[in-house]
Amino acid sequence: MRCQPLRRALAFKERNLYIPGKFKQEKIEELVGLIREYPFATIITLSESGIDTNHLPLCLMELDGELYLKGHIAKANSLWKTTEPQSEAVVIFNGPNTYISPNNYPTKKENGKAVPTWNYVVVHVKGKIRFIHDPQWIVGVLDRLTSEHEREQVVPWSMSDAPESYIQNMLSAVVGIEIAIDSLSGKWKLSQNQSEINQKGVVDGLSSKSDTNSQTIASMMCANLQQEC
């Protein structure tokens, strides 16, 4: 994927996501990496009846120098009927996150000045949404999503494994979604507002836990500190 469309998307000013300078993530490979690693997104749109929220996996694609998020919803979902074409959508990709205990801060023992917090990484995307009913377009997106998520299987499933009539029947029950990306912003809250000694204390505390979120956040903090974990 070429970098220019992403750099252009990063140039847009984020209007809603609060990002202190120390937490701002502008490395293109990190933003793209999070979207690919955590593709299950929250889509927020506005209709005459109010705010609509939907959850679905999306794939990031580039076409003619522009960036798009693509996926599908059930035709029974009224989103495609109630949302105006080309209206703005907010898409949130949540990465790993975990609770941070003040007990992890060495300075707490010295002055007691410490409170709990939460570390997390997240990418916000804004863009214009449209809905597609073309079966060939939907097949292309489904094939891309399937290929991405089946690649770790010993014998990856493909759409050709199912009877053609069954696939066609399933296609009639879904609607494609495409979001043309206007802006992209990332927030990496990894205790950067703490002293180095406290950050290392958090890494040690998280590394002692067995859950994936804690381990992943610890690794990301190690990368920030440029130290081995």
**Apex 31 CA angle, 27 and 33, nearest 5:** 115
- Residue 25: both structure tokens together: 């993530």
Q: Which residues contact 229 (CB under 8 A, 6 or more apart)?
A: 203, 207, 218, 219, 222
**pLDDT tens, position by position, 99-117:** 999 999 999 988 988 999 9
User: What predicted TM-score, i.e. pTM, was given to this entire model?
Assistant: 0.91
Write down the domain spans for the chain: 4-193
Q: Which residues of the chain fall below pLDDT 50?
A: none
Domain range 4-193, its CATH number among 2.30.110.10, 2.70.150.10, 1.10.10.10, 3.30.465.10: 2.30.110.10
- With 0-12 / 13-18 / 19 or more C-beta atoms within 10 angstroms meaning exposed / middle / buried, residue 71 is buried
- Residue 73: both structure tokens together: 């919803």
Neighbour count for residue 4 (Cβ, 10 Å): 12
Q: 3-class SS at 190?
A: coil
Q: Round to whole Å and give the CA distance between 69 and 74.
A: 17
**pLDDT tens, position by position, 11-26:** 555 557 899 999 999 9
Q: Round to whole Å and give the CA distance between 225 and 220.
A: 9
Q: Tell me what pLDDT residue 113 has.
A: 86
Q: Tell me what pLDDT residue 65 has.
A: 84
